[in-house]
Amino acid sequence: MTKVIAIHSFKGGTGKTTLSANLATTLAANHRVGVMDLDLSGPGLHVIFGLKKGDVKATLTDIFLGDASPEDVVIDLSPRFGLSKGGLFFCPASNKVEDMLRLLKSGLEVTVFQDTLQKVGELYKLDYIIVDTHPGVENDTVLAMGCCDALVLVSRVDQQDLFGTAVMVLLAETFEKPTFLTLNMVPPGVKIKDAEKVGRELAQLFRSRFLAAFEFQMDVINNLSRSVFVIDNPNSPFAHKITGAAESLMRELGEAAKVAN
């Protein structure tokens, strides 16, 4: 059965989309993984995945508006990234202002989103679907929370970010969803072991689980979202940390499923 993982942040600028793309690609090395760009008012995954205008025939927005089916939208990125064992299947969002406005006006219904997740998961025999959400508390964010199996919350080591993350954990609790705290862009002056200790303490305080802490790395920042960093730099510290986070997430989800059963 397909596991749906929503990746969210309370504020923008946390590196959420970069983490989503790299985590999904890492998982896709050995699993069949779908990626949905649910940041409907500011999509960016298509840029990281290197897609040009002609590569996108229809979008997730078209599905939600009833103008397309998943078969029209999903782009198989497996050959592009040399994924022979697993697979990566991408549902882009529209970056056309008129499409965004139409969807905002009509609203995104939970049944439509659930149906899309189910159809995409079944059609492409997916093990996981990564949903990159819009920052903050929006209708589509709450919708994704309600439909996901787990929520990864990305925060910077910033008081406003952490306060907002605590709010998001409380919101997720109302849906009885497990949450995983990830600290990103840890400042150079903070030792990563200290950041991880703080992350674990915060996760305990937030009644969440700690996933990982990522240093502020200039090579990742300088990539400017032009490509999937772990593909271009598979032996980098960032790639190793992403692999560890992916393995931890799979392990935790597996254990949670055993408890549920």
Name the H helices within the chain: 16-27, 45-48, 60-64, 70-73, 78-81, 97-106, 110-123, 139-147, 159-174, 192-205, 218-221, 229-232, 237-260
Give a three-class secondary structure readout of 76-134.
Answer: ECHHHHCCCCCEEEEECCCCCHHHHHHHHHHCCCHHHHHHHHHHHHHHCCCCEEEEEEC
pLDDT, tens digit (0-9, with 9 covering 90-100), for 6-40 = 999 999 999 999 999 999 999 999 999 999 999 88
SS3 193: helix
The rounded distance, in Å, linking the Cα atoms of 119 and 20 is 21
The rounded distance, in Å, linking the Cα atoms of 161 and 30 is 33
Q: Given a cut of 80, is residue 106 above it in pLDDT?
A: no
pLDDT, tens digit (0-9, with 9 covering 90-100), for 187-242 = 988 999 999 999 999 999 988 999 999 999 889 988 878 899 999 999 999 999 99
Give residue limits of the domains in the chain.
3-260
Q: What is the pLDDT of residue 225?
A: 83
Judge whether 131 and 7 are in contact, CB under 8 Å.
Answer: yes
CATH number corresponding to 3-260: 3.40.50.300
This prediction's pTM? 0.93
The rounded distance, in Å, linking the Cα atoms of 170 and 218 is 33
Reported residue count of the chain is: 261
